[in-house]
Amino acid sequence: MRESGRTCLLRQSELLNKPRPVAVTKVIASALLGGLLAVLHAGPTLADGEFAPSSVAKGVLLVASPSLADPNFRQSVLLILEHGPEGTLGLILNRSTNVLLSDALPDLTVLKGTSYRLFAGGPVEPTRLLLLSRLKEPSADVRSVFDGVYVGGTPDVLERIITQAKPTEAFRAFAGYAGWAPGQLAYEMLEGSWAVLPPDSFNIFDKDPATLWPDSISRLQAPRVISN
């Protein structure tokens, strides 16, 4: 990941608390409680150009070009969580791991016996957890990403979704995230490394991670294919 943008994307308190060098399966439930996201200014609204830097905004899907060889982002699709003058934050949506969430958060009894898997959200802070959820009644400790989809929250959010089983609610848990310094993502887009799709292109909680990237590329092939 672009570590150069890391310091501008984290609160000072986060920088003082460096992550412990432990395996992902040792991430504790309290990692969900921290306010990982910096308060960034609102980004621009979605423009018509899928390939223009101005099309990047909070809530859009960022699709890697077939030519992007960086192993951190090869064939990836990201959800942009924040975008503004201080930089950009996102989560890789299509990298499910073999780690069970019940192993990553062993203290959460509600997860025992479940088959939820942990997703690799990006190469920055890989031992920190972020919760992405679709909620009908969001709590005060979550941040809106786009219509009905939120990031953050406490383990109580997980317990509510799992135990109350509302059909409209869902979640995914991510280890790590992606980040760009100011102007960095715009430069990469001008190089042809990324394109943008609107947030309602897919149901990101139900979509098979294995087909998300090829299906995203197919949607970008008319009227133009991103560079390959």
Can you read off the two tokens belonging to residue 133?
Answer: 């959820």
Distances (CA, A) of 219 to 48, 70, 84, 224, 225: 14, 22, 26, 10, 9
Is the confidence at residue 222, as pLDDT, over 80? no
Specify whether the CB–CB gap between 172 and 209 falls below 8 A. no
- Report which residue type is found at 186: A
What pLDDT, in 10s, does the model give residues 191-216?
A: 999 999 998 899 999 999 999 999 99
Query: Which has the higher per-residue pLDDT, 14 or 15?
Result: 14
- State pTM to two decimals: 0.77
Look at residue 41 in the predicted model and tell me its pLDDT. Answer: 32
Residue for token digits 């009908």? 136
| Cβ-based neighbours of 5, under 8 Å, separated by 6 or more | 87, 88, 179, 180, 181, 182, 184
What pLDDT, in 10s, does the model give residues 112-132?
A: 999 999 999 999 999 999 999
3-state secondary structure of 32: helix
Is the confidence at residue 52, as pLDDT, over 90? no
Which among 151, 89, 150, 98 has a CA at the least distance from the CA of 123? 89
Domains belonging to the chain, first-starting first, are: 3-203 (3.40.1740.10)
Beta strands in the chain (DSSP E): 61-64, 77-84, 87-92, 96-100, 117-120, 124-134, 142-146, 149-152, 170-180, 194-197
Is the confidence at residue 80, as pLDDT, over 90? yes
Name the pLDDT band for 49 (thresholds 50, 70, 90): low
Is the confidence at residue 46, as pLDDT, over 90? no
Mean pLDDT within 159-168: 82
Q: For the chain, what is the mean pLDDT?
A: 79
Specify whether the CB–CB gap between 125 and 177 falls below 8 A. yes
